[in-house]
Amino acid sequence: MSLPSILIPVAIACLIGLTMSYKVEPLPDSFAGLGEGPHWDVARQSLYYVDLEAGSLLRFDYAQNKVYKAKIEGETLAGFVLPVEGRPQEFAVGCGRRVVIVNWDGVSTTATVVRTLFEVQPLMDKNRLNDAKADPRGRFFGGTMRYIGDEFEFRHGELYRWEAGGQASVIKGDVGISNGLAWDVKAKKFYYIDTTDYEVKSYDYDFDTGVATNPKVIFNLRKNSPKDHLLPDGLTIDTEGNLYVATFNGATIFKVNPNTGKILLEIKFPTKQITSAAFGGPNLDILYVTTAAKFDQPAPAGTTYKVTGLNATGYPGVNLKV
């Protein structure tokens, strides 16, 4: 084979690689001081998320390319937002240690608490609910963390499961910062992050009962970034079963193969505090990413981003059944 014939396919491969590279773009007017909990709602073609320490809900309308924001009346915290199945203007929101039902039309600048669904750790006034999602059957999964004091020293958080008609049950104790959650229906797996462990764990998951067993570490940030102290935060999954791990302080989302623990891609951002991610858009091929502006981080900290060109698709958010 002649030298030119070797170089041609290499050049073509390089060109293909360039055209397949991802693109990171900010959403307009999307700032949240502590953006968290991105949830793609297929019915409304909207991304819902929270400004956690402002007690606010946000909605990015895909068709309008516009973000709407509402303050929850009487609340200072909003840890997550989950649309309620069958009730278009109702959302389950983590306010302190309560999961409340909030009424919001998605446009108004205020939202109203309708009722409390349940409360956890009622005597632990230094704790709050953090990340939460509905599993593929619509059950609530979410956990708590230390809100006042050192959450790395005081592991007083817990992970809970709740389903309609029942009580919240503790499925894991000794939690520092309860964070990212994801499910793989094909592999029958549940993935979970306790930030203070610096790792992602997989569990065998029974979708009929909602029971998670046999925990196993599948990605360890202490091994992958021993000097940088990157903190694993939010988590999502694509249809191929790959995980997307947001790193607080890391300016990066790692795309990880959970079977090998290997990093397949590092998605870089122009700000450090990457909090969570969710696939969305009409084809579920846009990765929406929330960030934070904690500890005097400069702009563009707190911006919400969209990542295109990943050649991957994900799953829409699941509504909570109440």
Look up tokens 């939010």; give the residue. Answer: 234
Q: Is residue 223 part of a domain?
A: yes
- Cα–Cα distance measured from residue 100 to residue 243, given in angstroms and rounded to the nearest whole number: 29
Closest listed residue to residue 244, CA positions, set 222, 219, 226? 219
Q: φ and ψ at 17, to 5 degrees?
A: -60, -40
Closest CA to 284 of 242, 257, 317: 317
Q: Which of 193, 241, 189 is nearest to 221 (CA)?
A: 193
Closest CA to 249 of 266, 237, 232, 262: 232
- Tell whether 9 is covered by a domain: no
196: DSSP letter: G
Per DSSP bridges, beta strands 286-291 and 252-256 are unpaired
Give catalytic residue positions. Answer: 233
119: tokens are 């409360």
Please identify which residue in the block is written with the tokens 């991304």. Answer: 47
Which tokens sit at 272?
A: 């450090």
Whether the Cβ atoms of residue 239 and residue 185 lie closer than 8 Å to each other: no
Cα atoms found within 13 Å of the Cα of residue 134, Cβ hemisphere only? 26
How many separate domains does the chain show? 1
| DSSP-derived 3-state class of residue 7 | helix
From first to last of the 322 residues of the chain, give the pLDDT tens digit: 443 333 333 333 333 333 359 999 999 999 999 999 999 999 999 999 999 999 999 999 999 999 999 999 999 999 999 999 999 999 999 999 999 999 999 999 999 999 999 999 999 999 999 999 999 999 999 999 998 877 788 899 999 999 999 999 999 999 999 999 999 999 999 999 999 999 999 999 999 999 999 999 999 998 766 656 789 999 999 999 999 999 999 999 999 999 999 999 999 999 999 999 999 999 999 999 999 999 989 999 999 999 999 999 999 999 999 9
CA end-to-end span of the chain: 67
Residue 166 lies in a domain: yes
Judge contact between 322 and 92, C-beta under 8 A.
yes
Q: Is residue 224 part of a domain?
A: yes
In a domain, 17, yes or no: no
For 108, the domain range is: 31-308
pLDDT digits (tens, 9 = 90+) for 165-205: 999 999 999 999 999 999 999 999 999 999 999 999 999 99
Please enumerate, by residue number, every residue annotated as part of a binding site for substrate: 128, 130
Pair of tokens at residue 203: 């569990």
Residue 291 lies in a domain: yes
With a pLDDT cut of 90, the percent of the chain lying above it is 88
CATH number for the domain including 132?
2.120.10.30
Rounded Cα–Cα distance for residues 244 and 239 (Å): 12
Contacts of 33 (CB under 8 A, 6+ apart): 51, 52, 53, 54, 292, 293, 294, 302
Q: Binding site: which residues?
A: 36, 128, 130, 179, 233
Q: Is residue 298 part of a domain?
A: yes
pTM of the model: 0.92
Asked, for residue 15, whether it belongs to a domain, the answer is no
Are residues 71 and 118 in contact, defined by beta-carbon separation less than 8 angstroms? no
Cα-trace Rg, the chain: 20
Binding-site annotation, residues for a divalent metal cation: 36, 179, 233
Contact 90, 103 (CB under 8 A): yes
CA angle 141, 144, 147 (to 5 degrees): 155
Torsion of Cα atoms, 55 then 197 then 236 then 118, to 10°: -40
Q: Are strands 127-134 and 157-162 parallel, antiparallel or unpaired?
A: unpaired
